[in-house]
Amino acid sequence: MYLLYLDDSGSPQNVNENHFILGGFIIPETSLYWVNKNLDNLAEELPTNSADIVEFHASEIAGGRKSPWEQFKNKQERLDILKKVLQVATDSRNGIKILACAVEKNQFPGADPVELAFEDLCSRFHQFLQRKHVSNNEKANGLIILDESSYKTTLQRLAKNFRTLGTKWGHVLTNIQEVPMFVDSKASRGIQLADHIAYSIFRRYEHADLTYYNIIEGYFDSVDGRLHGLCHSTLKQSCTCPYCMQKKLLALAKP
C-alpha cells in the first residue's frame, strides 16, 4: 500500500495571492516509521515540556507564531528548523516521491483551484500506482490522506467519481482505495511534512523564493529524467519552471 499525504498552501479565496498549492508526498506504508521517527527526534530537541504536542506547521515556524516557535527570537533559527523538517523528505530510507500542483488562480476564472489541483494529483497518483503495477507485476493500491478542511465532503465526492466515472483525462482511478481520509494535522507527522512541502512550493511560485524548494527539488516523482510529480496550471507561456519547460520541450519534440 502506498500513502499519499497532501496539504495546501495559499488561500483559494485570497485575491492578494496569485497561487494555490496542493502538495505532499507518496510513501510506502512500511516506510512511514522513518518520517515519524525523524520528526519526533527533531521535536525532542526543542525547548518544550512535551515533544508530543509539537506541531511542525511551516507558516507558524516562519512567522514565530504559537508555542514553541515564539520562543525563538532569532528568525534564522526558526528557518533552520523549517529546513530540517524538509530534509526528512530526502532521507533515502523513506522512499518518498513528491507530488504537487500549483494553480495560478486568475488564469482559471470561475474554477475552484482546490478541485483543479486535487483532480490533477489524483491522476498523477494513479499513474504512479500503475507504473508500480507494471514494474512489480502486482496490483499497487493507494490511499490519500489530507488535513481536515471544509473541502472534506467535496473532495470525497470527487474521489468517488474518479473511481467510478473517471477524471477529465479518462483515467478511472481503480488503484486508489476508498475516499480520502481526513486527519488532524496535530496528530499526524505525515501531514506536517506535507504542509512543509506545500509551503516550499508556494514560496517558489508566489515569491520566486527557491530557499526551501531547492531542498526537495530532486525528490519529485520522475522516471528516466521525465518529471511526473509537478504540475503548474497556468496559461502563461513565459514560465520557466521545470514543469513548464518540460511541457515546451515535449511539444517541440512532437512530429
- Confidence tier at 237 by pLDDT (50, 70, 90): confident
pLDDT of residue 104: 96
Q: What pLDDT shows up at residue 68?
A: 87
pLDDT digits (tens, 9 = 90+) for 92-112: 888 999 999 999 999 998 899
**Please, which pLDDT band fits residue 215 given cuts at 50, 70 and 90?**
very high
Residue found under cell 509537478? 230
Cα dihedral value 160, 164, 169, 175, nearest 10: 80
Question: Where do the structural domains in the chain lie, given as residue ranges?
Answer: 2-253
Count of CB atoms situated within 10 Å of the CB of 14:
10
Instruction: Give the pLDDT band (50/70/90) at residue 49.
Output: low
| Dist CA 32 CA 27 (whole Å) | 7
- C-alpha atoms less than 13 angstroms from C-alpha of 158 in its C-beta half-sphere: 20
**pLDDT, greater one: 153 or 219:** 219
Residue 31 burial by Cβ neighbours in a 10 Å radius (0-12, 13-18, 19+) = middle
Q: What is the pLDDT of residue 91?
A: 92
| Residue 45 banded pLDDT, cuts 50, 70, 90 | confident
Q: Which amino acid does the sequence have at 50?
A: S
**Kind of pairing between the strands at 181-183 and 142-147:** parallel
pLDDT at 50 over 70: no
Mean pLDDT score, 142-166: 89
Could you tell me what percent of the chain has a pLDDT over 70?
Answer: 98
pLDDT at 218: 94
- DSSP for 146-212, written as a single string: EE--TTHHHHHHHHHHHHHT--TTS---TTB-SSPEEE-GGG-HHHHHHHHHHHHHHHHHHH---TT
Query: Is the domain 2-253 a CATH 3.30.230 member?
Result: no
Residue 53 banded pLDDT, cuts 50, 70, 90: confident
